[in-house]
Structure 1
Amino acid sequence: MKVSPVGMLVIAVCVLAAVACWVVGYFGLPNEVTHRNLAENPKLAVSVTSGKTSATRNTSSAAGLPASSTAVSKPLAQLDKAAKTVDLNITTNQDMAFNGYSKGALKIAVPTGWTVKVTFSNSSTIQHSVGFTDWAHRQGNSFPAAFSHSLMQGFQSGITSSHAPVSFQFTADKAGKYAMVCGIPGHAAMGMWDEFDVSDHLQAPTVTTAKGTQKVS
């Protein structure tokens, strides 16, 4: 079939327009839409909000990452001005999860000997608590403290949204694999636990989820 010069011109214009649209879309849209450079997609925010929220990624200095329905204002983890100290802002709500993560989906790692300052808040009427115990006890009914003072006050009774946040701190002085758990009976067995590691080989704390690992800085 012969194509007239006008037809050829129309085809050429259409091809050029299609190529232009592809170029604009590929380079103009974010990686998570185009799926290019998957190794860098998505780049973890340095400040992390709750994972199930649709919160905007924050690139300020601190660290972190998915079940609450409201974005948290503080990053999950950030370095304190004091040397070798990391602040953990642990939140929960009606879900059996810490900052939106449960059953080990969240891993926080700190260098051996660092001080860990924890602020725990609960936005639901269901009682929750947080503490750090041996890995083998993460789904049990009793939770021996992994470190001195690594269980919050009222660990077995918990707090609700009517309580002020609870703060405590401990020194992660023993390298190994541990667990962050809720001390309310039955909650850890239902999956309310995540991983907490202490390593002789780390230079700074890290936060890891399915999206990747981010160093706290």
Structure 2
Amino acid sequence: MKKGVSPTFTAIVAIVVAIVVVGASVYTYQQFLAYSAKTSAVVSTTSTTPRHTLKYDPTNKTVFITLVTLSSGPTFNFNGTDFGSMVIYVPAGWNLYITFINQESLPHNLNLIANDTATPNSPNIASDGKILLTIGASSSDYETTGIMSGQSASGLYTDIQPGIYWLACGIAGHAESGMWVVLVASSNVTTPYVVIS
């Protein structure tokens, strides 16, 4: 006669797994907070300092951008902002090293889009412009797939041309519901910075 796994053992394993997952999420978020305090990659929303310098390396012309989907604040957000209220300014011709961290319970991804419209107005972000880079999904499943809570993903886009872009979640309807940031590449910008309105 074969013996099965006891319900008590199964419950204990489930509790241990849950504790590990929650602990890993908390640790990841604490690491992010420590990193953001050190690099100024995460933007403060205080009105006394409306312009925030981003971490960058002038020797290889790379801007380091970190965007986080937070579980507090607006339902769909990056760094607690929504509907393009965060504007990132970068020098034209530079490289963008973008890190995306998801702290919300829903899956999300991040896309760099050369947009054709002022705001996302379609559930499919590709209807509003050209997707240049996808982070946390592939170019074929960005509408349905993303990274889960506590996960992060990074990507590099080289030689950003002058123009106005979005950084937006590609999952159907998320950008349209406010999950997008404006990115401006200009030859008039010499030091990368962020403004929140």
TM-score by length of 2: 0.63
Which of 207, 211, 215 in structure 1 is aligned with 2:194? 207
Pick the structure with more strand per residue. 2
Which whole-Å CA distance do the structure 2 matches of 1:190 and 1:59 have between them? 29
Residue correspondence of structure 1 range 115-134 to structure 2 within 5 A? 115-134=95-114
Deviation at 1:81, TM superposition (A): 6.9
3-state SS, counterpart of residue 134 of structure 2: coil
Which of 67, 76, 79 in structure 2 is aligned with 1:90? 67
- Structure 1 198/114 Cα, relative in aligned 2: closer, same or farther at 3 Å? same
3-state SS, counterpart of residue 198 of structure 1: strand
RMSD: 2.8
- Structure 1 62/152 Cα, relative in aligned 2: closer, same or farther at 3 Å? same
Deviation at 1:83, TM superposition (A): 2.4
Residue correspondence of structure 1 range 189-208 to structure 2 within 5 A? 189-208=176-195
Deviation at 1:178, TM superposition (A): 1.0
Instruction: Give % identity.
Output: 26
Q: 1:140 aligned to 2:140? A: no
Deviation at 1:202, TM superposition (A): 1.1
8 Å Cα contact 1:76-1:90 kept in structure 2: no
Match of 1:40 in 2: none
Q: 1:151 aligned to 2:138? A: no
- Structure 1 62/139 Cα, relative in aligned 2: closer, same or farther at 3 Å? same
Deviation at 1:146, TM superposition (A): 4.9
3-state SS, counterpart of residue 151 of structure 1: strand
Residue correspondence of structure 1 range 18-57 to structure 2 within 5 A? none
Which whole-Å CA distance do the structure 2 matches of 1:151 and 1:194 have between them? 15
8 Å Cα contact 1:147-1:172 kept in structure 2: no
3-state SS, counterpart of residue 135 of structure 2: coil
Residue correspondence of structure 1 range 162-181 to structure 2 within 5 A? 164-181=151-168
3-state SS, counterpart of residue 170 of structure 2: coil
3-state SS, counterpart of residue 179 of structure 1: strand
Which whole-Å CA distance do the structure 1 matches of 2:53 and 2:98 have between them? 10
Which gives a bigger RCO, structure 1 or 2 (Cα 8 Å, sep 6+)? 2
Where does structure 1 differ by over 2 angstroms across 4 or more consecutive aligned residues? 58-66, 80-83, 137-148
Bigger radius of gyration among the two: 1
8 Å Cα contact 2:53-2:191 kept in structure 1: no
Which whole-Å CA distance do the structure 2 matches of 1:181 and 1:116 have between them? 15
Which whole-Å CA distance do the structure 2 matches of 1:100 and 1:153 have between them? 19
Deviation at 1:206, TM superposition (A): 1.4
Q: 1:99 aligned to 2:82? A: no
Match of 2:173 in 1: 186
Which whole-Å CA distance do the structure 2 matches of 1:141 and 1:76 have between them? 32
Count of residues in correspondence between the two structures: 144
Which whole-Å CA distance do the structure 1 matches of 2:78 and 2:39 have between them? 21
- Structure 1 97/60 Cα, relative in aligned 2: closer, same or farther at 3 Å? same
In the alignment, structure 2 segments of 5+ residues that lack a partner are 1-32, 46-51
